[in-house]
């Protein structure tokens, strides 16, 4: 039981490049979330998914797209990376108990 897994752990992109961050959970949770964490700031919600095929914007959705193709996986895509998207990205999932289970994070640097 791995919980929430994220790939890759680290990534360096050049401005304008695209990439997809992958997240998977094996806890049969309906809800999944993507957050970003910047120095001196708390985690900020980028996107949320209540179930397969549904997504909803969070606080800071601009510059990102998401896909929830099945119950296990929730991916975050940067179509044209910008230096302002340099951050640590966390994926989380939850059931109805409201406790969110977090992944280990992806550290992304955009130069």
Partner 1 sequence: AQRVTQPEKLLSVFKGAPVELKCNYSYSGSPELFWYVQYSRQRLQLLLRHISRESIKGFTADLNKGETSFHLKKPFAQEEDSAMYYCALNYGGATNKLIFGTGTLLAVQP
Residues near partner 1 (CB under 8 A): 4, 31, 33, 40-45, 48, 50, 56, 58-59, 90, 94, 98-105
**In this complex, which beta carbon is closest to partner 1, that of residue 90 or of residue 108?**
90
**Residue with Cβ nearer partner 1 (73 or 102):** 102
Q: Which is nearer to partner 1, 92 or 110 (CB)?
A: 92
- For residue 18, the minimal CB distance to partner 1 (Å) is 26
Backbone dihedral angles phi then psi of residue 83, each to the nearest 5 degrees: -55, -30
Q: Shortest gap between Cβ of 38 and partner 1 (angstroms)?
A: 10
Q: Can you list the alpha helix ranges (DSSP code H) found in the chain? A: none
Cα within 13 Å of Cα(71), Cβ side: 7
What single DSSP character describes residue 73?
B
Smallest separation, CB 43 to partner 1 (Å): 4
CB of 111 to partner 1, least distance (A): 26
Question: Could you tell me which residues come within 8 angstroms of residue 83 by beta carbon, excluding any fewer than 6 positions away?
Answer: 15, 110, 111
The residue (of 31 and 75) whose beta carbon lies closer to partner 1 is 31
């Amino acid at each position: 039981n791995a919980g929430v897994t994220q790939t890759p752990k680290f990534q360096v992109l050049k401005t304008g490049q695209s990439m997809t961050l992958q997240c998977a959970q094996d806890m049969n949770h309906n809800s999944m979330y993507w957050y970003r964490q910047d120095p001196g700031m708390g985690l900020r919600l980028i996107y949320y998914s209540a179930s397969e095929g549904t997504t909803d914007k969070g606080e800071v959705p601009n510059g990102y797209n998401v896909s929830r193709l099945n119950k296990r996986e929730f991916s975050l895509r940067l179509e044209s990376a910008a230096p302002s998207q340099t951050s640590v990205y966390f994926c989380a999932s939850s059931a109805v108990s409201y406790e969110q289970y977090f992944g280990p994070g992806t550290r992304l640097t955009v130069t």
